[in-house]
Amino acid sequence: METITRSAGRALGTTLSDPLDLGGSPRSTVLRCRTADGGTVVLKAFADEEGALRAFAAEAAGLALGLGGPDLLAALPDEDRPILVMTDLGTAPTLADLLLGDDPDAVRDALLAWARGLGALGAASVDRRREFEASALRYARTALPIWSLDPWQARNAASLPELLEAAGLAVEPGLAGELAAIGTAGGADYPAFTPGDTCPDNNLITAGGLRLIDFETCGYQSVFLTAAYCRMPFSTCWCVFDLPADLADAAERAYRAEVVGRYPRLADDTVWEAGIRQAVAVWTVDATVRLLARSAEDRPLHRTRRPVATVRQLLVHRWRQAAGLTEYPAFAATMRGLLDRVAAAWDVPPLPGYPALSKR
């Protein structure tokens, strides 16, 4: 901590003291420090390994856009552990805190603020992709591309057939062609910036509105891939329970209303529905590839937060949703096969509702 605070203090021209560990991850250490004038800043120091280094480049470039997150006060790519120095957004609750709480009105307000905020961020960023990618290249400390430039969708599609066979399912004729058609869910036509891991715990619901945190996987992707977080809900997250359809619809409309000003074709319901259903397929493949091999023993989706769903509950929920994507018959049949051959043996209860919304 001393080395991190000393380096960050030199960059700010002040002395930093009283570092408080805010958690972080295996990739990073996050500290809140006091400045000489009595204020506070947040430091994020990244490990010296490839995954962490590409996360640093993405987060530095994303925060430099100045859209929706904390202000970037300094970026130190040349330290032994690269460091970001940010404004301190305080200790406001996250959307996850509210969803697991007991105030349904607060959840609705926060969910809509979250969706509008993501949409506004996407709309404001449309013309700044070149700036972001140049900045990410400037901060790069590894040849590994930032996550948004990594071909993860194609890799997932290539991995799925082998996983299906390992689970005892025959690969449906035509599945490979459908996965290629699903592709990246309209990303070439409707790209916008996203923090990447746009989960309920990666934000703060402050008195001044939504502020987003954790830009380690930020970048440009299809607006549909972000909008799908409203419908599924929360495509890559641990905080997944059954979201009432009216709230999911309201959140999706709030997001769409922001981005349609930059992409007028998205006002066409046919275009919108086709794109978001593609995105649901993309994220379902992602969840299946990430979690199926780890589902031999069911486990909670988060180490410490409770209540929380299990890996198997989440997969069953995703497969049931995707089984309705009948425009992709081989894909839908694959989802039904997973339900009939894999989920039936698990016999797990369906996802419950969010605790706060059970009081509606």
**Could you tell me the sign of the dihedral formed by the alpha carbons of 176, 179, 180, 181, in that order?**
positive
Residue 360 above 60 pLDDT?
no
Stretch among 62-71, 143-152, 285-294 having the lowest mean pLDDT: 143-152
Q: Where do the domains of the chain lie?
A: 2-87, 95-359
Structure tokens at 20: 């408080």
Q: What is the pLDDT of residues 38-72, one digit of tens each?
A: 999 999 999 999 999 999 999 999 999 999 999 99
Give backbone dihedrals phi and psi of 198, rounded to 5 degrees, phi first: -85, 60
% the chain with pLDDT above 90: 91
CA distance 183 to 154: 7
- What's the sign of the alpha-carbon dihedral 193, 332, 243, 306? negative
pLDDT level of residue 186 (50, 70, 90 thresholds): low
Q: Which CATH superfamily is domain 2-87 in?
A: Phosphorylase Kinase; domain 1 (3.30.200.20)
* pLDDT more than 70, % of the chain: 99
Q: How confident is the model at residue 209, as a pLDDT?
A: 87
- CB contact at 8 A, 300 and 313: no
Is pLDDT of 189 > 90? Answer: no
Residue among 294, 328, 258 nearest 163 (CA)? 294
42 strand-pairing partners: 32, 86
CATH architecture of 95-359: Alpha-Beta Complex (3.90)
The answer on pLDDT for 185 being more than 90 is no
pLDDT tens-digit readout, 71-94: 999 999 999 999 999 999 999 999
pLDDT above 70 (res 276): yes
User: In this predicted model, what pLDDT tens digit does every residue of 225-262 receive, in sequence order?
Assistant: 999 999 999 999 999 999 999 999 999 999 999 999 99
